[in-house]
Copies of this chain bind each other. A is one copy, B any other.
Amino acid sequence: MTKPIIAVYAITKEWQLEEIKETAKVYDVKVKDELNSDDIKNIEIVYGWGSELSENTADLNQLKWIQKDTAGLDAIPESLRNDKDVLLSNMSGVHAVPITENIFGYILGVARGIIPAMTSQLESKWDKSIASNMFSLKDKKILVYGTGAIGQEIARTAKFFEMATYGVNSNGRSIQTFDHTYTMESSQEILSDMDFVINALPLTDESELFFDKEIFANMKDTAYFLNIGRGESVKDDHLIEVLEAGTLAGAYLDVTSPEPLPESSKLWQTQNLVITPHISGNVEHFRDMIYPIFKENLDSYLSNGTLAKNEYNKKKGY
């Protein structure tokens, strides 16, 4: 009789694979290179994800659980994401600290004159005038769209630097690390008061192209916009326009649409814009950080068919 398959697409260490096999003895545990096209119909559990799975969703009729190896789930076809019979979990939380470090690397970089100085350094120029736009973070206002694990870690760090923290979520509910919370709609009223506006939203119908000229026009011309959510949430042309016009002080994009950003994109040479190649979630010992989450869920799944943590809420879309 054919055993059900656990398909491992996430990067794993040898001992981790051995432990999975030991834990799930009634399953065939196969890493992606060992999977052939006949295997797809026998896959019950996927750890990570592969594009060949997206291309053959009709064959995945034994699929019961996907443990994605990232926070975002948009690599998984919508039909599967909405399938009531498939459990879904992600790595939300693992990236909260590193992404927050990127956020504050940029915020401190612009606030403390380091990023502007790197431009004058190209011209061997000791430019003291940079100091006139410098500030300390104390009492500055930061607005984070998305109050999940990443948003909360951003707010916790902002509080360390004595900033005022504002958060946005679906219903405006209170979240501990945020001084104030708003809905997407009510957040528009406070935009003009913010020093930093950060997109940490997953990609949903509501967040798609949300950051457009209306949002940017509401922001102060001394304010900064940061995107570590998804590139599809930003109207690039509108962002380029306000940056080139100087009506927005600067922006940081760790995510773009498409990715990789083509060499021909106007974003690369837009003034006061810093782009990193979707690396902010990167952690040095990634395999060590994500495996315990999969293992805990695997134990729980095998014993009672439920997941212990990080289960995706299909109704809310994150």
Contacts and interface: CB of A to CB of B under 8 A. Distances in A.
A91 B106 CA distance: 28
Contacts of A120: 277
Interface residues of A, number: 52
A279 B259 CA distance: 36
Contacts of A284: 134-136
Given A121-B274, A279-B128, A108 B104 contact: yes
A176 interface: no
Given A104-B108, A126-B260, A282 B97 contact: no
A161 B101 contact: yes
Contacts of A278: 128
B112 A277 contact: no
Given A101-B136, A101-B137, A102-B114, A126 B277 contact: yes
Interface stretch (A5-13, A64-72, A261-269): A261-269
A276 interface: yes
Interface string A247-286: 0000010000001110111001100001111111011100
Given A102-B108, A114-B274, A125-B263, 17 more contacts: A97-B136, A98-B136, A101-B111, A101-B136, A102-B112, A104-B104, A105-B105, A108-B109, A113-B280, A117-B279, A121-B268, A124-B268, A126-B263, A130-B277, A130-B279, A135-B284, A157-B160
10 closest Cβ pairs, A-B complex = A105-B108, A126-B260, A124-B268, A117-B276, A131-B279, A102-B112, A124-B263, A105-B112, A126-B277, A131-B282
